[in-house]
Amino acid sequence: MSKKHFSVAIDGPSGAGKSTLAKAVAAELGIVYVDTGAIYRTIGCYVYDKQVDPKDAEAVTALLPEIKIEMQHGEDGLQRMFLNGEDVTTKIRLPQMSMYASAVSAIPQVRTFLLEMQRELARTHSVIMDGRDIATVVLPDADVKIFLYADAEIRAQRRTLELEQRGTPQPYEEVLRDIEARDWADSHRETAPLRPADDSIMVDNGDKDFEQSKQFLLTLIKDWVGL
């Protein structure tokens, strides 16, 4: 475990392999992995349960004071999410929560509501944080900023396999359609759209397998941080 305090931002479109890689790299470096998508999914989950339109900014904003989100990082590196005390770690991964998360994440009040929680984690721990706006908004002073991407078709193939393994299968065509729709929504919203920071390191993950990508990121981070 490194004694040095540092932060790594990993942004990129959905299904680029951010979470799997960030989690493995964090374990190797002995630092905390923060999946910020899970936080937006947790808000999406609450909005879904309340049967509120996730695009209705006013209605969603009115729900925010009722929401208490907690995160726990277990020994196994798994990030458990709690919504008003209920463990929603599995529920937030249901396919319908993806679009809800994407829709609520476009609402500026939602982003402001979650900003301090994310920054606080990086202040108190060395972190690898993955999301869409980590390098541009949440941690603009991160020690390393990585933008991880891959073609939509490759990402859809990987996500289809992942959903199958989780026991929540979905046809490839549907997964691809969802990924393309989310790419568009996440990168065209007005507040904190998905884009690399000027000093992000661009990493194409489409032509590498998991081990190659992991080693590549580890070397990159160690070089930049000076570990």
Q: Distances in Å between the alpha carbon of 154 and those of 67, 99, 213?
A: 35, 20, 15
- CA atoms of 170 and 177, how far apart (whole Å): 11
- Of 40 and 48, nearer to ligand DC (C-beta) is 40
Distance CA 126, CA 187 (A): 28
- Kind and range of the H or E run holding 73: strand 69-73
**Phi/psi-derived region of residue 14, left when phi > 0, alpha when psi is between -120 and 50, beta in every other case:** beta
To ligand DC, the closest distance from the beta carbon of 185 in angstroms equals 7
Q: Which is nearer to ligand DC, 1 or 188 (CB)?
A: 188
Residue with tokens 């476009």: 106
CB of 156 to ligand DC, least distance (A): 13
* C-alpha to C-alpha distance for 208 and 206, rounded to whole angstroms: 6
CA distance 6 to 106: 28
Shortest Cβ 14–ligand DC spacing (Å): 4
Q: Is the CA virtual torsion 127, 130, 136, 138 positive or negative?
A: negative
For residues 129 and 114, the answer to whether their CB atoms sit within 8 Å is no
Nearer to ligand DC, 78 or 227 (CB): 78
Q: Name which of 123, 156, 128, 153 is nearest 35 in CA terms.
A: 128
Query: Minimum distance between the CB of residue 101 and ligand DC, rounded to whole angstroms?
Result: 4
Q: Which residues bind ligand DC (CB under 6 A)?
A: 14, 36-37, 40-41, 101-102, 105, 131-134, 182, 186
| Cβ neighbours, 10 Å, residue 160 | 20
The smaller minimum CB distance to ligand DC, of residues 61 and 222, is found at 61
Nearer to ligand DC, 132 or 214 (CB): 132
If the CB atoms of residues 103 and 223 are measured against ligand DC, the closer one turns out to be: 103
Instruction: State the minimum distance, in angstroms, from the CB of residue 226 to ligand DC.
Output: 26
Closest distance to ligand DC from the beta carbon of 96 (Å): 12
